[in-house]
Structure 1
Amino acid sequence: MTWTSYWIEHQVFGTNPATGLPHPTSYHVINVLLHATASLLLWRVLVQLGVPGAWLAASVFAVHPVNVESVAWITQRKNVLAMVFYLVAMWQFLGFEQTSRRSRYLAAVVAFLLGMLSKGAIVAMPMLLLVLAWWRRGQVTRTDLVRTLPFWVVSIVMSGVEIWFQQVRAIGDETIRQADLAERVMASGPIAWFYLQKSLVPLDLAFVYPLWQFDTSKGCSGCRWRRACQCWLS
């Protein structure tokens, strides 16, 4: 979807005759409009959920430096585009629960699919829908599970496609660096705290952060020592 949006803009706005390159202003304007749309959609979703201060939360989302960073970076169109589709899916799904209109349910599934085609970061939406069901009603019913089934199908299939694509060919003939399971496990904790810190204290932001290095041999050594101590104590 991201590259399709670029293609549409190129067809509409063309190129600068002086340079032969696309007009960067048009891409920035579209990013801003998409982000503004996402902010309004977030407000609507929070209102549907009955969250106090929905307008304030949406306003903070609109001007937060971490979000603005993606808006300013033309090549991060995938972030703002995926967020729009993600929030449309949430809005329509919550609307379906209120009205039981099948058209809204279908719109939610299609929007989620388009969002996954934009960026796979929204893959956890089916789980979020179940969490919201539990939060609002105190339980997750069989009906809730059935309603989220199409979202799980889209999530699993598109995740498999994206993993295959990134492992085989991501950008031209460049292959994405592969990390083993130990590296992924060791990175999961620091990554969560890193982005939480950036959300609360958005300082020293960068378009691309240095790749973290983890010494998995030390982690394995530590596991061996713990097992040895457990055996000795037993």
Structure 2
Amino acid sequence: MLRRQKGVLMPGVRALATPGVASVLALIAASFLLYARLLPYPPVWDDHTFVQEQPFLREPANLAMVLSPRSLRETLPVRGAARPMWLASLLIDRALAGGRFWIFRASNILWHGFAAASLLTLVWQLTRSRKTALAAAALFLCHPVNSETVALVTNRADLMAFTFCVLALCFYEEGRASPNRRALWAGSLACFAAALLSKEMAATFPLLILLGGWLFPRPVPRTSRALFLACCAALLGLYIGFRTPRSGYRLEGTMDVFSAMQSRHPQLFAPFDSQDSAARPPGSLPQIAPSLTSYYADPYVRLRTSLAVLADYGRLLLWPARLQADYAPRPPRRWLSPGPALGAMAMGLMLGAAWMLRRRQPLASFGLLWVIATL
């Protein structure tokens, strides 16, 4: 009985330790070796607005407010209120080192190492190949395209969402073949919730579960799998309720989908936002410049722009030259413009390659489909 309880109380320990603690520590150390030169630099770009100049983030005592369940019902008076995990990490940094900015950069570097370590664990679980897992983690750790995410403290939300999302996949994969499935899948759902509260891109997690089950099939009771996916759907529904009142990208004459939903059906989101929007401090809902309205006004312009961005992202993954801090693209006016055409070709090639590799190289297929799903 005691042995069984030990296995339930510590789900996932075997999964997280299997690739080797030394490998995990080596990845974290390598992350610091790669990015240690960032430590003395002052804040730049969005870090001024979203980190350094926010009064709420200057008081470590506000950590209790962020971690309180009330923050799920009351909108916090701070930019980034929809990302409480990110806010909590910044307030912890503030408590550890006061206003010294190096601590924020050190935490970003640490989270980058955590992200690589979580990917190491997931790839090992899927392939049972230590070399493949180390290669995937090293590529993620060293790829130049991730440098912007590490360099900007504002972008720590991406690192946190990715890490928690991958850990959720790790717990799920371990649970598929474990007698402690219920405890492990509960851990997966907890990590999924943490990922959502870090950044909204984690909403693609259920799709990754379906893709992983297709490419790496294992015998799992249908009812158990259906119940897990139903729990994911319930979490997503609750998250939409939480996220919608905390949206804030608005233009002249239009607004983002969450703000539009709240404007049409405010009563649906009242349980998640007991604070009057008029009471929010100025600037808590940033306004997007009217010059960017063309990105949102026409759905076809948005689609063409997305395809152009996909083409540029593919180029950066294969040849990360000419990295820059701002990737705001010009909206293409025609379908035959180079950006949309190349993006459509890239999408077709990636889908075709994923289909062809699904049996011989399921990990490569999973990676390609992951890129498409998260875009």
* Letter in structure 2 aligned against 1:145: A
Aligned ranges 1:96-115 → 2 under 5 Å = 96-101=175-180, 102-115=182-195
Cα pair 1:92 1:108 within 8 Å, conserved = yes
RCO comparison, higher one (Cα < 8 Å, 6+): 2
Find out whether 1:9 has 2:127 as its counterpart.
no
Find out whether 1:175 has 2:287 as its counterpart.
yes
User: Equivalents in 1 of 2:323, 2:219: separation in Å?
Assistant: 40
User: Equivalents in 2 of 1:217, 1:37: separation in Å?
Assistant: 41
User: Equivalents in 1 of 2:237, 2:320: separation in Å?
Assistant: 32
Structure 1 position 115, deviation (Å): 0.7
Match of 1:119 in 2: 199
Match of 1:54 in 2: 133
CA change 1:23–1:109 in 2 (3 A) is: same
| Runs of 5+ consecutive residues of structure 1 not aligned to the other structure | 15-21, 220-234
CA change 1:13–1:130 in 2 (3 A) is: same
User: Equivalents in 1 of 2:87, 2:137: separation in Å?
Assistant: 27
Aligned ranges 1:1-234 → 2 under 5 Å = 1-14=85-98, 22-50=99-127, 52=129, 53-101=132-180, 102-137=182-217, 142-143=222-223, 144-159=225-240, 161-162=242-243, 165-166=247-248, 167=256, 168=259, 172-176=284-288, 179-180=296-297, 181-215=299-333
CA change 1:77–1:150 in 2 (3 A) is: same
User: Equivalents in 2 of 1:215, 1:132: separation in Å?
Assistant: 37
CA change 1:156–1:218 in 2 (3 A) is: farther
Structure 1 position 139, deviation (Å): 9.8
User: Equivalents in 1 of 2:150, 2:199: separation in Å?
Assistant: 15
User: Equivalents in 2 of 1:182, 1:151: separation in Å?
Assistant: 31
Cα pair 2:177 2:218 within 8 Å, conserved = no
- Matched residue SS, 1:208: coil
User: Equivalents in 2 of 1:205, 1:161: separation in Å?
Assistant: 35
- State the aligned residue count: 212
> Structure 1 vs Structure 2: percent identity of aligned residues?
23
Residues 67-123 of structure 1: CA deviation (Å, up to 9, x unaligned):
232112122111111111111111111111121422211111111111111111122
Cα pair 1:82 1:116 within 8 Å, conserved = yes
Match of 2:31 in 1: none
Structure 1 position 203, deviation (Å): 1.3
User: Equivalents in 1 of 2:335, 2:198: separation in Å?
Assistant: 37
User: Equivalents in 2 of 1:61, 1:83: separation in Å?
Assistant: 12
Structure 1 position 163, deviation (Å): 5.3
CA change 1:152–1:127 in 2 (3 A) is: same
- Matched residue SS, 1:123: helix
Structure 1 position 157, deviation (Å): 4.0
- Matched residue SS, 1:207: coil
User: Equivalents in 1 of 2:235, 2:317: separation in Å?
Assistant: 29
- Matched residue SS, 2:104: helix
Which segment drifts farther, 170-179 or 1-10?
170-179
> What TM-score do the two structures reach when normalised by structure 1?
0.79
The root-mean-square deviation of aligned C-alpha atoms, in Å, is: 2.9
Cα pair 1:38 1:83 within 8 Å, conserved = yes
* Letter in structure 2 aligned against 1:80: L
CA change 1:162–1:193 in 2 (3 A) is: farther
Structure 1 position 151, deviation (Å): 1.8
> What TM-score do the two structures reach when normalised by structure 2?
0.51
Structure 1 position 137, deviation (Å): 2.1
Moved over 6 A (4+): 138-141, 216-219
